[in-house]
């Protein structure tokens, strides 16, 4: 046996031998009774100041709690008591929580900005399934500083595991960039800390006369506890709405909703590569209108849409033959984004909103305006979008209209059936169009398994063959197991111009098995082991294997918050046509089979100083690849947060050596939760680019307010362009 095979076998044994000794509690949801809470109608609004224990309105309402640990001691009662009260008036949904804590001086807080991640802080979050469809909901949360955290969840937060080896994580299912208009106030006292939420009913979408699904999560950082009101099996989180409890007692009336959100903007910009590199001042005005046709159906109108306040893209280096994925960050396109999602996010996106207003080279294409109708009619999701973009003569871009029509009917039992039509049409140009039609669905197989799939075809002015794409996937997630498999096919002629293809013309089988193991010994330093193996392979239509990727790994999560991932990757890359991987370095045709080791290490992210290190060492395209990344995170109190990231790529190939590195520095200082300054400084050695983005944000309602943005780019030591932008937007509620 070769040393390589021996290491491989030994690794598999180490990763999976623990399964037979698992003492993980089995969560039998088929017999588990989901909890129920009652919302109380009130005539007098409570004072939203965080002082719940002294407010007569709240003291007349009986609290509930009884949260159970998901970690570290699964199924046991939380070490600290939590009291929750819920009330509502004709216009507002109220929630009050008292998080008792034996050491309120030791509360962990890390970031005061809106939508700051709450995973590594003492925090309280809740999700409401306002349609009681067990699939979609709104998340609200805060910490003891009173941070406003909100998000949209669709499809129970289940997206697509990104298969791009240069990126990680899951894409789709969770939309953190949704920003509603609501208020939260907190108070720290001798008993712990408290929070009061006031959410106008106009902010959320719901159907009158129905109970809501609801669940609550609290983080208790001194013991690294995560606790839920409606218990979550190991491997699940707050997004799993089919396991949520029920909120009864609601008698909500249809709220009126008409909001106008205008903006004014001034930009002073200079392009050093232009024929006339003088600084130019450009004023802009525009805005949005939001009108609720019904409590669950909203019409959005936009004119001269601008996204100056949005953080710029993070730099990436393409070290493969395929497309990189840059996520959407613009608020207008992110609201109800899950409703318009069709396909396989990050790999075969049939509608990718970045195609609207952003050119192929990343240049800005002015959006003249548009409209969006989105929401729900009973159990049917409806989405209609039409947008008009202006021409950009220098880039050869014509005026275009983009239209998306989406319908998706949800059945009981986590099942749904939908259709979509996506179209781009050049305005005033003959035979300039591209359209995609699609059918998709999901079939819930009880509460433990599910099948999903889609079929799509594209159409354009050119006659092509195999303009189809489809995917079938099934997964089982229960009793500490995550098992899935699927098959995806993209035809040679499939061309969704308003979508995203990571690669074209392929057939792809895939499979994944993961197990969550919790040691029985409560004194164990290990919280959880997650041995897993995944496989995917891409073949062209001539039977040639272009890529194969087998990943064997085990995640060692410690109760201290430290985590180590020890992995082995077996790779195959088949190259038919030579391609330039770096300047002057061309990979030749051939089949390259390699193995590589993978090590990930990070410390407790709630500490003032934490590190995250990832190392991949192995073969690549007939040579060697050394890919290292390191992140240093530094937090000073609750005001200053910073991340310093360095990505190092060193390739030693038979055809040449090269390095491609990225440095990224992100720093934020929050004067208050609604007032902050932020910097993003990036260096990309592959194109010798330095990019600086500085932002000051003074937020008002729903992420509107004053933004001052400065951008400066330098390439090969010479200035490329710079700009300073001042933008002010404000939300006017015309029926309040």
User: What mean pLDDT, rounded, does the chain reach?
Assistant: 89
Helix, strand, coil distribution of the chain in percent, nearest 5? 5, 55, 40
Cα–Cα distance measured from residue 186 to residue 89, given in angstroms and rounded to the nearest whole number: 21
Q: What is the pLDDT at residue 674?
A: 85
Is the Cβ–Cβ distance between 339 and 383 less than 8 Å?
A: yes
Q: List Cα–Cα distances, 407 to 342, 442, 460, 489, in angstroms.
A: 11, 14, 23, 23
pLDDT higher for 261 or 27?
261
Q: What's residue 161's pLDDT?
A: 61
* Per-residue model confidence (pLDDT) at position 538: 97
- Delimiting residues of CATH 2.40.160 domain(s) in the chain: 506-670
pTM of the model: 0.84
Q: pLDDT digits over 103-122, tens only?
A: 998 898 877 778 888 988 99
Q: Are 635 and 644 in contact (CB under 8 A)?
A: no
pLDDT of residue 700: 86
- Given a cut of 60, whether residue 15 has pLDDT beyond it is no
Grouping H, G, I as helix, E, B as strand and the rest as coil, residue 249 is: coil
Task: Give the mean model confidence (pLDDT) for residues 399-424.
Answer: 94
Exposure b/e, 520-533, CB count within 10 A at least 16 = b? eeeeeebbbbbbbb
> Is residue 510 within 8 Å of 485, Cβ to Cβ?
yes
Q: Where are the beta strands (DSSP E) in 446-490?
A: 449-459, 468-478, 481-490
Return all residues near 56 (Cβ < 8 A) that are at least 6 apart: none
CATH fold of the domain at 32-248: Immunoglobulin-like (2.60.40)
Residue 532 scores a pLDDT above 70: yes
Q: In the predicted model, what is the mean pLDDT of residues 610-634?
A: 96
Q: Which two tokens stand for residue 234?
A: 């190991």
**Model pLDDT for residues 650-662, shown as the tens digit of each residue:** 999 999 999 999 9
Percent of the chain with pLDDT over 90: 64
| Assigned token pair, 137 | 């909901």
Residues of the chain with CATH 2.60.40.1190: 32-248
Decide: 460 and 495 in contact? Cβ < 8 Å: yes
Question: Under 8 Å CB-to-CB from 420, ≥6 apart: which residues?
Answer: 340, 342, 350, 351, 404, 405, 406, 407, 436, 437, 438, 440
User: 26-65: per-residue pLDDT in tens?
Assistant: 344 444 578 999 999 999 999 999 999 999 999 999 999 9
Query: In a 3-state reduction of DSSP, which class is residue 11?
Result: helix
Q: Are 407 and 371 in contact (CB under 8 A)?
A: no
**Rounded CA separation 386/403 (Å):** 4
Among the listed residues 293, 297, 250, the one whose alpha carbon sits nearest the alpha carbon of residue 92: 250
Mean pLDDT calculated for residue range 558-569: 94
What does the DSSP assignment read for 564-604? EEEEEEEEEEEESS-EEEETTEEEPSEEEEEEEEEEEEE--
CATH code of the region 506-670: 2.40.160
Question: Mean pLDDT across the stretch 348-356?
Answer: 93
Question: How many Cα atoms are found within 13 Å in the side-chain-facing hemisphere of 333?
Answer: 23
Of the ranges 5-9, 56-60, 290-294, which is most confident?
A: 56-60
pLDDT recorded at residue 164: 46
- Residue 585: band (very low, low, confident or very high) from pLDDT cuts 50, 70, 90: very high
Question: Does residue 20 surpass a pLDDT of 60?
Answer: no
Q: What is the DSSP string of 650-715?
A: EEEETTEEEEEEEEEEEEEEEEETTEEEEEEEEEETTTTEEEEEEEEEEE-GGG-EEEEEEEEEEE
Provide mean pLDDT across the span 508-518: 96
44: phi > 0 → left, psi -120 to 50 → alpha, else beta; which? Answer: beta
Q: CA 313 from chain center: how many Å?
A: 15
Quick check: helix, strand or coil at residue 409?
strand
Q: Look at the chain and count its residues.
A: 736
In angstroms, the CA 453 to CA 162 distance is 17
Residue 21, pLDDT score: 37
pLDDT at 10 over 80: no
Distance between CA 116 and CA 640 in Å, rounded? 12
């Amino acid at each position: 046996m070769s040393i390589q095979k021996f290491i491989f076998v030994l690794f598999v044994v180490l990763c999976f031998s623990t399964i037979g000794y698992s003492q993980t509690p089995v969560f039998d949801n088929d017999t588990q009774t989901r909890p129920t809470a009652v919302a109380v109608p009130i005539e007098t609004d409570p004072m939203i100041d965080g002082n719940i224990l002294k407010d007569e309105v709240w003291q007349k309402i009986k609290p509930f709690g009884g949260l159970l640990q998901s970690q570290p001691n699964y199924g046991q009662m939380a070490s600290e008591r939590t009291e929750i009260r819920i009330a509502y008036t004709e216009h507002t949904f109220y929630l009050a929580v008292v998080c008792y804590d034996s050491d309120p001086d030791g509360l962990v807080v890390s970031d005061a900005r809106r939508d700051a991640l709450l995973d590594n802080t003492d925090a309280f979050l809740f999700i409401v399934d306002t349609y009681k469809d067990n699939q979609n909901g709104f998340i609200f949360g805060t910490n003891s500083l009173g941070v406003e955290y909100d998000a949209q969840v669709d499809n129970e937060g289940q997206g697509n595991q990104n298969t791009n080896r240069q990126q990680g994580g899951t894409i789709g299912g969770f939309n953190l960039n949704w920003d509603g208009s609501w208020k939260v106030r907190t108070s720290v006292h001798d008993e712990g800390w408290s929070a009061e939420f006031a959410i106008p009913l106009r902010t959320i979408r719901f159907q009158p006369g129905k109970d809501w699904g609801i669940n609550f999560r609290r983080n208790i950082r001194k013991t690294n506890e995560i606790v839920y009101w409606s218990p979550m099996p190991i491997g699940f989180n707050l997004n799993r709405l089919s396991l949520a409890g029920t909120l009864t007692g609601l008698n909500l009336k249809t709220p009126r909703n008409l909001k106008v959100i205008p903006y004014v903007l001034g930009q002073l910009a200079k392009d050093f590569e232009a024929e006339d590199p003088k600084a130019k001042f450009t004023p802009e005005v525009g805005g949005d209108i939001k009108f609720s046709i019904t409590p669950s159906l909203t019409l959005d109108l936009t004119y001269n849409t601008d996204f100056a306040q949005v953080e710029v893209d993070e730099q990436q280096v393409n070290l493969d033959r395929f497309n990189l994925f840059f996520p959407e960050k613009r608020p207008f396109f992110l609201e109800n984004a899950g409703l318009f999602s069709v396909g396989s996010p990050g790999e075969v996106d049939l509608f990718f909103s970045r195609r609207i207003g952003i050119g192929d080279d990343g240049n800005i294409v002015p959006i003249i305006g548009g409209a969006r109708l989105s929401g729900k009619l009973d159990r049917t999701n409806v989405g209609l979008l039409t947008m008009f973009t202006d021409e950009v003569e220098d880039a050869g871009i014509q005026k275009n209209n983009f239209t998306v029509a989406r319908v998706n009917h949800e059945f009981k039992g986590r099942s749904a059936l939908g259709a979509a039509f996506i179209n781009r049409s050049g305005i005033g140009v003959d035979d300039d169009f591209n359209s995609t039609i699609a059918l998709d669905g999901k079939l819930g197989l009880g509460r433990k398994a599910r099948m999903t799939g889609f079929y799509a075809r594209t159409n354009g002015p050119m006659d092509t063959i195999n303009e189809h794409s489809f995917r079938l996937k099934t997964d089982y997630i229960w009793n500490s197991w995550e098992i899935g498999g699927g098959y995806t096919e993209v035809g040679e002629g499939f061309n969704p111009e308003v979508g995203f293809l990571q690669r074209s013309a392929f057939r792809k089988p895939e499979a994944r098995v993961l197990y969550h193991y919790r040691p029985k010994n409560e004194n164990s330093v290990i919280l959880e082991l997650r041995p897993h193996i995944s496989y995917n392979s891409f073949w062209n239509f001539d039977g040639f294997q272009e890529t194969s990727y087998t990943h064997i790994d085990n995640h060692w999560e410690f109760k201290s918050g430290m985590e180590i991932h020890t992995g082995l990757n077996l790779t195959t890359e088949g190259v038919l046509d030579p391609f330039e991987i770096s300047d002057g370095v061309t990979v030749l045709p051939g089949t390259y089979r390699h193995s590589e080791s993978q090590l990930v290490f990070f410390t407790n992210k709630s500490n003032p100083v934490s590190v995250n290190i990832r190392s991949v060492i192995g073969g690549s395209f007939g040579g060697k690849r050394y890919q290292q990344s390191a992140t240093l995170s530094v937090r000073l109190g609750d005001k200053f947060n910073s991340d310093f990231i360095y990505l190092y790529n060193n390739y030693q190939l038979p055809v040449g050596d090269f390095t491609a590195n990225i440095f990224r520095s992100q720093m934020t200082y929050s004067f208050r939760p609604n007032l902050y300054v932020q910097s993003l400084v990036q260096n990309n050695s592959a194109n010798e680019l330095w990019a600086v983005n500085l932002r000051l944000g003074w937020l008002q309602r729903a992420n509107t307010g004053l933004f001052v943005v400065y951008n400066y780019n330098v390439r090969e030591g010479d200035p490329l362009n710079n700009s300073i932008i001042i933008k002010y937007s404000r939300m006017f509620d015309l029926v309040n």
